[in-house]
Amino acid sequence: ETGVTQTPRHLVMGMTNKKSLKCEQHLGHNAMYWYKQSAKKPLELMFVYSLEERVENNSVPSRFSPECPNSSHLFLHLHTLQPEDSALYLCAAGGDRSEKLFFGSGTQLSVL
Amino acid sequence: AQSVTQLDSHVSVSEGTPVLLRCNYSSSYSPSLFWYVQHPNKGLQLLLKYTSAATLVKGINGFEAEFKKSETSFHLTKPSAHMSDAAEFLCVVRRDSSYKLIFGSGTRLLVRP
């Protein structure tokens, strides 16, 4: 148990659906991250929030929309996704510019 | 620009034999380097980190890594592999004063009985 919980663990959605991924941290860290892990590709940073303010947006398509309502919760809202968006989406928490990140187990997303 | 290259996508060893997972980096600055491990159906866990202190870094579960500036390498080693070590290992470099971690493509370690 890393103190970072992601739900759901698995998600299958059609290209016209709207869904949300949820991340919750119980560690009291200031920063939260969304990463994308595709097969045979390195982890890609998507978004970083620090103290509920987005501090990094790594050229992610607008069909991915993050939300950080407070320092313990992070969402990734999904709409009109493409099959190539199928991947493992990992949430992480850490201190400001922390070297040590605590990762959740991820949401395995399949877009049909 | 920072980048990291993991030279082997798969490494297979017998239980009880040494493990070597290779990582080379490029960085314009003095880098911060990390190894993370990812077990199936689990998130990533930090194994060890180098941040310009001792060049030989000891991590959890008997792993260690040596920072060699002249070779721009940060290879991960363990004297004796255990079956429970089988996992994906990710070498990571951090851009100075940045939130951004640059991940390598990973090395899958297989441990044969």
Q: Which amino acid would we find at residue A85?
A: D
The string of DSSP letters for A26-38 reads -S--SEEEEEEE-
Q: Residue A65 above 80 pLDDT?
A: yes
Q: Quick check: B104 contacting A, CB < 8 Å? A: yes
Q: How high does pLDDT run on average in chain B?
A: 90
Residue among B74, B99, B108 with most chain A CBs within 10 A, to mutate = B99
Cβ contact A43–B103 (<8 Å): yes
Residue among A48, A99, A102 with most chain B CBs within 10 A, to mutate = A99
Task: Give the helix/strand (H/E) hosting B112.
Answer: strand B107-112
Q: Which of B77, B78, B70, B2 is nearest to B33 (CA)?
A: B2
B19: left (phi over 0), alpha (psi -120 to 50) or beta: beta
B83: left (phi over 0), alpha (psi -120 to 50) or beta: alpha
Look at residue B96 in the predicted model and tell me its pLDDT: 65
Q: What is the pLDDT of residues B46-57, one digit of tens each?
A: 999 987 778 899
Between A8-22, A57-71, A85-99, the lowest mean confidence (pLDDT) is in A85-99
Q: Which of A49, A53, A54, A61 is nearest to A87 (CA)?
A: A61
Over residues B54-70, mean pLDDT: 93
Cβ contact A105–B101 (<8 Å): no
Over residues A29-33, mean pLDDT: 90
What percent of chain B has pLDDT above 70?
95
Residues with Cβ < 8 Å from A23, sequence gap 6 or more?
A4, A5, A6, A32, A34, A73, A74, A75, A76, A91, A104
Look at residue A51 in the predicted model and tell me its pLDDT: 78
pLDDT band at residue B97 using 50, 70 and 90 as cut-offs: low
